[in-house]
Structure formats: structure tokens, C-alpha cells
Structure 1
Amino acid sequence: MIDLGYSLSRRFPDPPQTDYRSAGTRELRHDLFCGDVYLADPARDRELSTAWGWVPVLDFAWALCDIVEQLDRDPRGSRSHHRHHAELDFTESTERLRFERRFGWVDVRADWQDAGDPPLTFGHRELRREARDFLQDLVADLTDLHHSLGENPVIWTLLARYPRV
């Protein structure tokens, strides 16, 4: 089981004059909706989380969906013994989440975790489903907070690109 979550920061609120209806991709991915995110394996009681308060939460969800697709480029899919790597860079720091897929499993490591800690390991299919659900749920939450966000064409395109599985 995978648990993905977020919290929005009170220290880094969106500018009050923001027009969410016309916000562009760069603004949506890097300037708005700052907070913290976590990726957890509740069955093993393990978690990778940020505690910085400035992580662009929508960008995290978007990038995670991109990474899951990138890890699936091998035509042999879960039968492939080759290792496939991807990284998620956190913009304002040198920290990264590192993903490695082999067969149908994805190991996730964070630069900030202890070197001896084992990675979080998830099935690729489950990670794809949970990443897309997280993105869809996050956008629904953000649209509840900022109704005009639901009228943004960038958001429409994003949700169409990564529908629930």
C-alpha cells in the first residue's frame, strides 16, 4: 500500500492577487501551492517526507506522474530485468528523490535519508495508480480552495493526460 499526502504552507501563501484561471505552467508548477509532501509505506511504517514548507505541491504530484511514466518506457514492462532510473529534483535545494525500477518494482530513496536506510519499495502498477489518484485529488482540493483554478486550460490538459487508472 502507498500513502501520498501533502500539507499547504502558511509561511509561503500564494500571492493574493493570483488569477488562477490564467496562471501558466511555470506559475502553477513552481510559484503556487507551496507546502510539504510525503510518500509512505504504512505496512512497513516507513515514510519519506519533506519538512521545508516551500515544496510546490502541484509540481510534486505532476512530476511524480511524469516519473512513473518515464520508468515504464521499456517495452518489456514488468518482465524487464534492466534497471531504469529517474530523479525528482526539489527546486530550491540540492535534495532529490531517486527512483529505480527493476522488473515490476520501484525503489524510492531520498538524498536526505540515512545512507543505511532501505528504500521504500512499491509495485510499479500501484505507484502509477496512487500517483494519478493523488494528482486528481490534489487538483480537486486546490479547486475547492480556488474555484477559478478549475477553469484553467493547463489544469484541464494535466488532468486529461493523467486520468485515474
Structure 2
Amino acid sequence: MIDLGYSLSRRFPDPPQTDYRTADVRTLRYDLFCGDVYVADTDKDRELSTAWGWVPVLDFAWALCDIVERLDRDPRGSRSATAVHAELDFTESTDRMLFERRFGWVDITADWVPLEEAPLTVSHAVLRREARDFLHDLIADLVDLNEGLGDNPVVWGLQSRFPRV
């Protein structure tokens, strides 16, 4: 089983003058909601996590949903032996989270993890479901914390683009 999570940083708060109703895509993705994220394999008690405090968590959730869809472009789907690669790069550093799909399984690793450590392996269908649930749960939390965010058309579009599975 996979678990996706986040924590918001107290060191990098959003600017107090932010109007969440009208924030554009760039602002929502890169300038707000900084913290840390993790991807955990609960069966093996292992995780990939950041500890930097500045990762834009909404961008992470959004990018993860994009990546899961990109990994599914092969028309043979889970029958395909061809490896499909994708990466999530963190904008303020050279670190990346790496994804490789073969058949119906996705290996997840990161640049900051020692090479000898095995990747986290998860079913593509489970990763899709969990990534979308994470995105919707994160948006719900952020809407509760930030007045006006629920009225932002970018957020509406994001939720409709990646509905819960």
C-alpha cells in the first residue's frame, strides 16, 4: 500500500496579502503552500520524503497526477514491457523524483536516495487513485485554511481535470 502526505512549513508562510480567489497558476504552483512531502510504502515501512521545508505541496500533487497520466500513454497499458520514464524535478534544487513504469508497476526513487536502496514499487492503478485522492484531500485542507481558495477557477479546473477514481 502507498501513502502520500505533506506538512506545511512555518518557515515559509504565504504572503499575508495573498488573494487566493484570483491567484494565477504560477503563483498557486510555485509560490504558495510550501512544506514537505512524502511517498511511503506502508507494507515495507519505507518512504521517500523531502526535509527542505520549501517544496510547493500543491505543485507536487499536481505534477504527480500529471506524471501518472504520462506513464499511461502506452496503448498496451499494463501489458507493455516497454519501460516508460518520467521525473518530477524540484524547482529550487537539482533533486528529482524518478518514476519508471513497466507492465502495471511503477518504481519510484529519488536522486537523494542511495543507489543501493531499492525503489518503492506500486501498482500504476493504485498510484493513480492515491495521487488523485491526495490532490483532492490537499485542496480540501488548503481551502479550509485559506479563505477564497475554493472560489479560484484554477482550483476548479484542477479538480475537474483529475477527478477522484
SS of the counterpart of 2:63?
helix
- Offset at residue 65 of structure 1 (A): 0.1
- Offset at residue 159 of structure 1 (A): 0.1
- For residues 83 and 142 of structure 1, the distance between their equivalents in structure 2, rounded to whole angstroms, comes to 35
TM-score, structure 1 normalization: 1.00
Query: Could you tell me the percent identity over the aligned residues?
Result: 75
- For residues 3 and 65 of structure 2, the distance between their equivalents in structure 1, rounded to whole angstroms, comes to 15
Q: Which residue is equivalent to 1:41?
A: 41
Q: Which residue is equivalent to 1:104?
A: 104
**What stretches of structure 1 move > 3 A for 4+ residues in a row?**
none
Matches within 5 A, 1:1-165: 1-165=1-165
Q: Deviation digits for residues 61-92 of structure 1, max 9, x if unmatched?
A: 00000000000000000000100000000000
- For residues 141 and 163 of structure 1, the distance between their equivalents in structure 2, rounded to whole angstroms, comes to 17
TM-score, structure 2 normalization: 1.00
5+ residue gaps, structure 2, are none
5+ residue gaps, structure 1, are none
Q: Deviation digits for residues 68-127 of structure 1, max 9, x if unmatched?
A: 000000000000010000000000000000000000000001000011000000000000
Matched letter for residue 149 of structure 2: L
RMSD across aligned positions (CA)? 0.3
- For residues 62 and 127 of structure 1, the distance between their equivalents in structure 2, rounded to whole angstroms, comes to 13
- For residues 149 and 45 of structure 1, the distance between their equivalents in structure 2, rounded to whole angstroms, comes to 34
- How many residue pairs match? The answer is 165
- For residues 32 and 146 of structure 1, the distance between their equivalents in structure 2, rounded to whole angstroms, comes to 11
- For residues 10 and 48 of structure 1, the distance between their equivalents in structure 2, rounded to whole angstroms, comes to 21
